[in-house]
Amino acid sequence: MSMEEDISMEEWRRRNIGTMNAEKLPAYNGLSVCRGFFIMQRVRRTVEGEFTEGLDGSGVTVAVLDTGLGGHPDLLGRPVCFRDFVGRREQSYDDNGHGTHVCGILCGSGRLSGGRYRGMAPRIRLVVGKVLDSRGDGRTDAMLEGMDWVLKIREKYEIRILNISVGIGSMREADKERVLREKVDEIWEKGILVVCAAGNKGPGDGSISAVGGGRAVTVGCHDGSYGLDNPGRCETYSGRGEPGGFMRKPDLVAPGTDIISCNVHCVKIGGVFRNAYVAKSGTSMATPLVSGAAALAFQKHPGMSNEECRQGLQFTATDLGLPWNRQGWGMLNVRRLLG
């Protein structure tokens, strides 16, 4: 079990040198941003996330099982509980950076960027479980322990959503895959909306993450009209369902290429924060966009069930005209969801 591979902006440049003609812009908080790379504003336009009706996720708690959570200024005040299922430490930390980046997409305040890189639902409460190590790898047992923990504390923290931006490929041990899916179903039965990444093992048919074939809302990656000339865009490796399969997956798609969010290696030097943000790509980045949109929906409709929210996400998605196993119901559409 691992977070698979989320590609940083620097690595993307290395792999694709000579293929981009983007004009380089000045460094911003330690991040050299190129015109054409996704920033959160562009992502919002793609998913019509600019129309949030003043909603910010207040009163909604989202659990995240990932590599942990670092002390980024954009995430101050968001976590209400942390548990380490890897190193058994007491204090919140992230020795990889994946979890911090995911949480930034979900609920970063954008404080260090003047709001430019704020998350989808910047006022939610965060419950974070560390189930992956410094390399982004993890044991199935740690994930199951984290899921049981979410079930145990769900009422205390009023958890409405569980975000799993962890790609789990096809397992050699079918029984462990079955247990994971059963645990996802158990969490769903308790009323929690489970949102998981489709994984980065595509584009082959049936390449959806092992936990993505059950009742969870499975999120694939598509960037709309952005980056069509980019051979490394996440659509090209996003996990896909089985054509005509009994369980039609993914449920929907969201942008996931060059998503700028909180960098766990942010440091303060001479009173100025450096390396505050970093760009990553993958279905891991698309998933918290959907979780954040769902948090806004739960804020607007507190009595909404997880099944009603799932249907809302599906039925309001924008059809991209692609085969079902590539787009599901289509692109996340926040305006319609909240309409």
- Of the candidates 56, 74, 95, 98, the residue annotated as catalytic is 98
- Of the candidates 207, 238, 284, 291, the residue annotated as catalytic is 284
Spatial contact of 106 and 121, defined as CB atoms under 8 Å apart: yes
Annotate 97-110 with b (16+ C-beta within 10 A) or e (fewer).
bbbbbbbbbbbbbb
At 260 the three-state DSSP class reads strand
Q: What's the predicted TM-score (pTM) here?
A: 0.89
Q: State yes or no: is 284 an active-site residue.
A: yes
7-18+26-338 has CATH 3.40.50.200 classification: yes
Give start and end residues of each alpha helix (H) in 125-264. Answer: 140-157, 174-189
CA distances from 196 to 39, 42, 272, 287, 326 (A): 22, 23, 36, 6, 16
User: What are φ and ψ of residue 307, in 5° steps?
Assistant: -70, -40
Domain ranges (residues) in the chain: 7-18+26-338
Q: State yes or no: is 148 an active-site residue.
A: no
pLDDT tens-digit profile of 132-163?
Answer: 999 998 888 999 999 999 999 999 999 999 99
Q: State yes or no: is 66 an active-site residue.
A: yes
User: What are φ and ψ of residue 136, in 5° steps?
Assistant: 85, 10
Percent over 90 (pLDDT), the chain: 69
Query: Which whole number is the average pLDDT over 110-127?
Result: 94
- Of the candidates 6, 66, 84, 223, the residue annotated as catalytic is 66
